[in-house]
Amino acid sequence: MTTTADANRRIHLNQAGYRPFDAKTFAVTGTDGGRFELIDRRNGSKVYAGELTGPIADASSGDTVFRGEFSSLREEGTYSVQVEGIGSSYPFAIAADVYNNVTDKLLKSFYFQRCGMDLEEKHAGVWSHRACHLDHGTIHGSESEERIPSSGGWHDAGDYGKYMVAAAKAVADLLLAYEFYPCVFARTIDIPESGNGVPDLLNEVRFELDFLFKLQRVDDGAVYHKVTTKSFPGLDVMPEDDTAELVFSPPSYTAAATFAAVMAMAARVYRGIDGTFAGKCLKAAELSWQWVTDHPDAAGFKNPADIHTGEYGDAILADEKLWASAELYRTTGESVYYEVFRSTLEQQKELALYELGWADTAGYGTLAYLLAGFGHERPKEADGVYERLLSGWQEQADQLLSRCSAAAEGYGISLLPEQYIWGSSMVLLNQAMHLLIAARFTGEDKYAAAALNHVHYLLGLNPLGISYVTGVGSYSVMHPHHRPSVGDGVPEPVPGMVAGGPNRNLQDEHAKKMLEGMPPAKCFVDHAYSYATNEMTIYWNSPAVFVAAYFDGAR
């Protein structure tokens, strides 16, 4: 008989739990099949029995997987799975609001990334720390000694850099989550602004937007690519102890275009909340758009020789232009923006029109145009663009759907073996986001059911049986590559952070040492040294907020 710990980790399930009317399933490895039972943890009684199905030869993990299904068990409570010959799983809940706490933790993680203010104990608990990075920054390459304000906003990830293109995906996903599921964000998440009459998601995004204005050069609308120290600080350096010089790296095309895009989004969303602020966002977006149109031949950003922090380089810039033009069109209705959107679609046939990445951003442009027409905010032009993009979105969703039920897919998700890359959690969550948006456009539940498998995977129903969200589940990531979590001396990491996930390319020394020869879906190591599998970023958490919100009990 295996020990409880072994059994726990071989019975892979959503460690947060399941909603009463959702499909309920788990996976087991290291078995030849057999019977399983569901045990009510309140009184130890057996409440369900079934037969494992399989085997499935799962391509991404190399495992032989059996599945158990207990969807007809709907009574709310706390249960565990008992598998003959293996033992018992971790406890999990069946409840309508089982994901509410997950949504709130995922969103609260942005508060924990705040820069430039005290994270007080009453909001941050044991993960409180003093204000950081309050100094002005120098302007890279500038002759003058001028220093400009840099404080505020969110640290990008496990490092303390603040990068425009990374922030753009994070802000876009959060504003889209609010736009799609506003009821979910009526709950407060205990941040300083809670209770001010504004939904906390919008309070949190406002904190970032107020910083992003500092990246824009007001005399010409250029946007600095990032503000960081010249090199990454040590892994155990707390934010307030990171006092090296802050440098604004040169402006970039992708920074200007993504700035214009998210400021145009903000102008729409905050219009009914704070008209003055919404106006400021639109003005900044239009100024940055002017810089974009004045610099059609700008090259992709490269780190200056003396700057050794994250680069966020990007060779394809037409997607950022497409995104910005679509958001400005949706917000203003001005035909000049539609003309650029349409001509970019025509000229740039190689664009990945449905990608929601930090580099491949065209999906946001496609979505902005579809939402404008879907919500009847803007006329659907008679040129067939709307129809073509809408059917394209659904075709992509159908492709993802077919992968979820492929013969060699043991976990019901759409990740391909080659997609277990740096930030595979983002790929997973972007694909779930794509499916949920298809569910909105088509009204077809099958897309949401597939997206739910991705939530199950994130929270424990995966080849490693681990919850990739800190502080969620009985066996979750404990040692993320996250400087505050390393330096604060608190055993538990900051909660609600999505780990990067398995990365088959072994792109840090620790991963190389520990994971050589492992199959793609097992190329993850819960160690603070492994930044290429176990970091967190704001734009891996942001699609997670969007996806969790769909399944939130408040929706």
Binding site for ligand 9MR (CB under 6 A): 157-159, 232, 235, 310, 531, 535
Question: Which of ligand 9MR, Zn ion, ligand G3I, none lies near 198, with the C-beta cut-off 5 to 8 A by kind?
Answer: none
DSSP H/E element including 251: none
**Contact pick of 207, 422, 524, 529 for ligand G3I (by CB under 6 A):** 422
Q: Please tell me the number of Cα atoms within 13 Å of 501 on its side-chain side.
A: 29
Report the distance separating Cα 289 and Cα 330, nearest Å. 14
Place of tokens 């700057």: 307
Residue 228 Cβ, how far from ligand G3I at the closest point, in Å?
Answer: 9
Question: Would you give the binding string for Ca ion spanning residues 353-392, x where CB under 5 A is met?
Answer: ------x---------------------------------
| Torsion angle in degrees (nearest 10) through CA of 142, 147, 153, 156 | 50
* Choice between 155 and 295, CB closer to ligand 9MR: 155
Report the sign of the C-alpha dihedral through residues 220, 222, 223, 226, in that order: negative
Residue 535 makes contact with ligand G3I by CB under 6 A: yes
Rounded distance between C-alpha atoms, residue 286 and residue 277, angstroms = 14
535's contact among Ca ion, Zn ion, ligand G3I, none, with CB below 5 to 8 A by partner kind, is: ligand G3I
CA dihedral 309, 314, 315, 319 (to 10 degrees): -160
Q: Are 248 and 230 in contact (CB under 8 A)?
A: no
Tokens of 428: 């997973």
Residues in touch with Zn ion (CB under 5 A): 115, 132-133, 239
Q: Does 314 bind ligand G3I (CB under 6 A)?
A: no
**The entry of Zn ion, ligand G3I, ligand 9MR, none that residue 537 binds, CB within 5 to 8 Å by partner kind:** ligand G3I
| Catalytic pick among 63, 204, 508, 535 | 535
In the complex with ligand 9MR, the residue whose CB is nearer, 87 or 500, is 500
Q: Which of 58, 204, 319, 526 is catalytic?
A: 526
101 is an interface residue for ligand G3I by CB under 6 A: no
Q: Which of 22, 63, 319, 355 binds Ca ion (CB under 5 A)?
A: 319
Residue whose C-alpha is closest to residue 211's, from 132, 300, 298 = 132
Task: Return the range that interacts with ligand G3I (CB under 6 A); candidates 30-38, 263-271, 418-426, 521-529.
Answer: 418-426
The Cα 343–Cα 327 span in angstroms is 15
What is the spatial distance between Cα 536 and Cα 546, in angstroms, rounded to a whole number?
A: 17
Whether the CB-CB separation of 218 and 251 falls below 8 Å is answered with no
| Angle, CA 200 vertex, CA 197 and CA 201 arms, to 5° | 130
Is 535 among the residues known to form the active site? yes
Choose between 474 and 507: whose C-beta lies nearer to ligand G3I. 507
- Residue 387 bears catalytic tag: no
Of the two residues 201 and 264, which places its CB atom closer to Ca ion in the complex? Answer: 264
Binding of residue 314 to Ca ion (CB under 5 A)? yes
Q: Does 200 bind Ca ion (CB under 5 A)?
A: no
Q: Which does 98 bind (CB under 5 to 8 A by kind): Ca ion, Zn ion, ligand 9MR, none?
A: none
Contact 417, 58 (CB under 8 A): no
List phi, psi (to 5°) of 347: -80, -30
Q: CB–CB of 521/135 below 8 Å?
A: no
Residue 526 binding ligand G3I, by CB under 6 A? no
Among all residues, whose Cβ is closest to ligand 9MR?
159
Query: Would you say how long the chain is, in residues?
Result: 555
* Rounded-to-integer distance, Cα 323 and Cα 265, Å: 11
Binding span for Ca ion by CB under 5 A among 12-20, 221-229, 351-359, 488-496? 351-359
Q: How far is the CB of 248 from Ca ion (least distance, A)?
A: 21
306 is catalytic: no
The pairing of beta strand 17-18 with beta strand 137-139: unpaired
Binding track, positions 272-311, relative to ligand G3I; x by CB under 6 A: --------------------------------------x-
Catalytic residue flag (residue 210): no
Distance CA 417, CA 525 (A): 18
Residues in a beta bridge with 65: 29, 56
In the complex, the residues that contact ligand G3I under the rule CB under 6 A are 156-159, 161, 310, 421-423, 505, 507, 531, 535, 537
Indicate which residues carry an active-site annotation. 159, 481, 526, 535
